[in-house]
A and B are shown apart, each in its own frame.
Chain A
């Protein structure tokens, strides 16, 4: 058996008695495209927060590429190849798009501690940041401040920050939220073009697009894994119908 990209075992998390993650166990193989679905409040984002280290689980363990990271701080996990986006836009609003991506690139480089060299002079970094922006179709806006972007463009920048790091495991939290049909197609293409060297876990409510991107699907409700399997088996499962249609 290969080493999984992400292994979650018996994960528990509760807030003041409210259970958000209840005995979740999951195994995601390298290169897999996994879609997390479930009604609002099912605990999907809370699960992401525990994988990324923003929240510490109450019990259970998390392994990234075979290494136990359960108690590691977020920045250490990032250095192991984990990247994520946020459902609520989490950009650097005062900076330009280029600076935003530069901060993402710096995160994994020892050069981030350089206190002497002007960052603007780092040609290689500027170049690489520009490439990352082009990848999401924002190449022409590199010098604009984030505040001048449309909502759809901000969503794409949100993804660009994570993609720029060439992560081995990418967590995308509702990348299509609030986008127009046209913008959805742009972002769908960006996600579809991610190379298979990157494992992708996706939270998304737009089933038409999301199911198309996914190999496997996990259905969560009340913090519990209800169904877990290949896309078609989960769609066909009567429990899926029950959760979504309430029969």
Chain B
């Protein structure tokens, strides 16, 4: 327990110190990792804790990003209003999609979430008047909260770090709360949960909405980081990358999506230096993880450590 606290303190300090010692390339890479961590952690609420495998989580990230960019660039709304609108809209979208997808379970749920995400993707491509289609939306500037400029990579990194920290803390608290424990109960034994008086559908729907909200937060970070948005962010590959982050790290653990998402982003960045074939590598990693390490890295390492301690 004590060593764990030490590790946390050391990594927290190095995360805060990083922008003062590292170059812009690494700062930006770290920012991308953090955004992916928020996205994977939000998906982990569904996949890991609710046992609901969604292949359409990119819809919420992309939806929030588009609302934010659209209302700011096209309508000229102030950043705070745009952010609130984006999160509210995304949460509402999650409520609607959740109500539809939760009519099914298992593979049906997976197929419906995938299909629904394609609606948003198709809209972004085709509703050119609203989204500027394949050209994407440009011209977004980063906000200046409390008069602080987020234009430099270091400043934006620190803001992202703060929000990531809040997201992970809130999710950790959620998982240990009465609701979080009940959610895991509906994952393992839904029939018994219903017999015990838990409204399984409502518990799952709530989880879907919460997961959608945090994916929306990741979307806001994403769009302010990129200052640009293109329909490809809504593609199945984005959902798949998020899911790979969860599975590779270890679904249903708090550290899993952090490790997994970091791995995916770093792999993607380094791979793109040497090869153009990121999707092929993504596919290969998927196959490898599923066949070799189905539990993910964090539970795998934990098992190794437990064996060593014995």
Contact = CB atoms under 8 A, between A and B. Distances in A.
Interface string A30-72: 0000000000000000000000111000000000000000000
Interface in A138-172: 161, 165
A232 to B, nearest CB: 33
Interface string B156-197: 000000000000000001101111111011001101111111
Contacts, number: 95
Interface string A95-139: 100010011101110011111111110100000000000000000
Contacts of B189: 90-92
B195 A112 contact: no
B178 A84 contact: no
Nearest to A94: B188
Interface residues of A, number: 37
Contacts of A102: 181
B49 to A, nearest CB: 12
Q: Which of A74, A78, A165 has the most CB of B within 10 A?
A: A74
A94 B194 CA distance: 18
A222 interface: no
B178 A92 contact: no
A32 B179 CA distance: 36
Best-buried of B194, B195, B200 by chain A (most CB within 10 Å): B195
B182 A106 contact: yes
A73 interface: yes
A93 interface: yes
A159 B200 CA distance: 21
A92 to B, nearest CB: 5
B303 to A, nearest CB: 15
Given A78-B195, A106-B198, A161-B196, A114 B188 contact: no
Interface of B: 173-174, 176-182, 184-185, 188-189, 191-200
Interface of A: 52-54, 73-75, 78-79, 83-84, 86, 90-95, 99, 102-104, 106-108, 111-120, 122, 161, 165
24 contacts: A74-B191, A75-B198, A75-B200, A79-B197, A83-B196, A84-B195, A90-B189, A90-B191, A91-B189, A92-B189, A93-B188, A94-B188, A99-B181, A102-B181, A103-B182, A103-B193, A107-B198, A112-B182, A115-B173, A115-B177, A116-B173, A119-B178, A119-B181, A161-B192
